[in-house]
Structure 1
């Protein structure tokens, strides 16, 4: 076994989820990630915890959703019960075919997301970690050789997370002292939002591994302006490109995409909350220096900002503000490396991807 797999497993168990004796742990992964699951289970056993493993191969869900053809689903109570009895949830991504679910109707996917919402909410209340195993399908989607992608993944997840957290804390402190954010990029992105009373989180490789962003929630009805998400995303096995969104009073009132706009139709029609922003994130992981069509990595890249329509993370929302509720959480990215500015209360804190606290600002 590649020693980097064992190092990855140790980071997940000891840093990201802090597994302790007596914990009930669920590990979900496709078969291609068996080496990482094996290493994780070994560490869980050494720490005196208990483990259940489940398969998350997207072929299974594709088969189920296509066969069901339902407009509405019921929440799978047996999975909810498993999560309720668990202390730690570890979810491993590893693609053998990134477009596996491309022929599932977006409306069916939206219906499933609505039914799954209570499970999603329960999962977020646990010690959870989402991470990536460098499978060949993931490498192919990124346009990289298997070896190059392995190096890319392990370099990103094996950072000195204490040092990275110190670097990011500088931006966290600036945002926690601010009320309004304005983001401009090129001629097509100019958006403002209030973050007054909300909390900015320092993502240091715990819930997401790799980490490397700072994120918060906008005040729900405060988002105004237009955003051109110039980097693509994969959603439901489809590439969505050239997304343009207009916000008024916090709500998406107009949108378009150059490719696969129908997937956005399904997202925005999922529920009322899917038309509001739940997250504003700023990428700060300089080890992630290549776009890979994998949001777990792409949203952490330096020189980027991402915004997620749908559910807000409750820990980012102040007591006096409303938590946006939705079955969706869809991140989309703006490249901030050129002709781009982030302002906090009218003061420039990032210009063309460089932060005010960096030497070459």
Structure 2
């Protein structure tokens, strides 16, 4: 086995989730990620933990969804009960066919997402992490050879994450103290976010691996303006390009796409919370130096910002504030490396892909 896979597993067990001997661990993985699952079992065995694997099979998911009446979708109570008894969840991405479920209709997708919401709630109560195992299908989507994609994945994962957290701390603290964030990118974006009293997420590779972002959550009704996203929105093997969103009082009131507008429609019609923003993030990881078509990487790339529709980052929302809830959390990504400005309370802190305040040099790397 490639030793990089074992190092990846150690990062997930030691740094991301800090597994202990008494922990019950669920690994949720596609069959394409078998090598990483085996490496995780080695690492978990050394810790004395108790792992279980839930294998994901997109072909089976597609077959089920194409036959299922959307009205028959309901939560899988046995899975909810199992997660309620779980301490750690490790979610692994990795496709054999990145478009396997692309011909499942929108109504079935929405129903499936709503039925999974109780599982989402239980998983968020665990120590959890989502990561990527490199496969040939994902390499093809990124426009890379399999070897080059593997190198990109492992280089992004194998970092000094304590140093990353320290470098991002000043930006995170300044964001936490702000009442308003404004994002302006040429003629394509002018958004204002009411973030008064909200917390900040300093992502140094805990819940996401790789990490590398600073994020917050706006008030439920606290987003105004318009933005055009220049990175594709990919969901369930389908893709929308040139997505435009307009917000009033925190809610999407108009949308369009240059291609794949039905993907956007299916997303925002999932439930009431899917029209509201659950996260504003600024990418800091210079180890991700290209658009890969993989949101876990693209949202971390330095010189990007992302706006997530749907479920809010709970760690950023104080107990006395309303929190947007949704069965979805979908990140839309916009390049911010040219003609871009981000201001906290009127002070420009970021311009053309670079932070202007200390500690946020965007490196996200060693």
Deviation at 1:195, TM superposition (A): 0.6
Question: 2:139 corresponds to which residue?
Answer: 139
Alignment of 1:46-195 (within 5 A): 46-195=46-195
Greater shift in the superposed pair: 60-69 or 126-135: 60-69
Question: 1:18 corresponds to which residue?
Answer: 18
Greater shift in the superposed pair: 71-80 or 241-250: 71-80
Greater shift in the superposed pair: 68-77 or 162-171: 68-77
Cα RMSD of the aligned pairs, angstroms, is 1.3
| Deviations, residues 29-60 of structure 1 (Å, cap 9, x unaligned) | 11221111001011111111101111112222
Deviation at 1:360, TM superposition (A): 8.9
Question: 1:2 corresponds to which residue?
Answer: 2
Where structure 2 has 5 or more consecutive residues not aligned to the other structure, the ranges are none
Alignment of 1:283-302 (within 5 A): 283-302=283-302
The answer to whether the Cα contact below 8 Å between 1:273 and 1:324 also exists between their aligned partners in 2 is yes
Alignment of 1:191-206 (within 5 A): 191-206=191-206
In 2: Cα distance, 1:160 partner to 1:320 partner: 35
The answer to whether the Cα contact below 8 Å between 1:25 and 1:51 also exists between their aligned partners in 2 is yes
Deviation at 1:174, TM superposition (A): 1.1
Q: Which runs of 4+ in 1 moved over 2 A?
A: 357-361
In 2: Cα distance, 1:309 partner to 1:114 partner: 15
In 1: Cα distance, 2:41 partner to 2:186 partner: 48
In 2: Cα distance, 1:309 partner to 1:350 partner: 23
Where structure 1 has 5 or more consecutive residues not aligned to the other structure, the ranges are none
The answer to whether the Cα contact below 8 Å between 1:197 and 1:320 also exists between their aligned partners in 2 is no
In 2: Cα distance, 1:360 partner to 1:321 partner: 31
In 2: Cα distance, 1:26 partner to 1:197 partner: 35
Question: 1:321 corresponds to which residue?
Answer: 321
When residues 340 and 72 of structure 1 are mapped into structure 2, their CA distance, relative to the original with a 3 A threshold, is farther
In 2: Cα distance, 1:360 partner to 1:254 partner: 35
Question: 1:237 corresponds to which residue?
Answer: 237
TM-score (norm 1): 0.98
| Deviations, residues 170-220 of structure 1 (Å, cap 9, x unaligned) | 210110111100000011210101111110011111111000011111011
The answer to whether the Cα contact below 8 Å between 1:10 and 1:40 also exists between their aligned partners in 2 is yes
The 3-state SS of whatever aligns with 2:70 is coil
In 2: Cα distance, 1:19 partner to 1:290 partner: 32
In 1: Cα distance, 2:221 partner to 2:260 partner: 28
The answer to whether the Cα contact below 8 Å between 1:72 and 1:115 also exists between their aligned partners in 2 is no
The 3-state SS of whatever aligns with 1:71 is helix
The answer to whether the Cα contact below 8 Å between 1:271 and 1:326 also exists between their aligned partners in 2 is yes
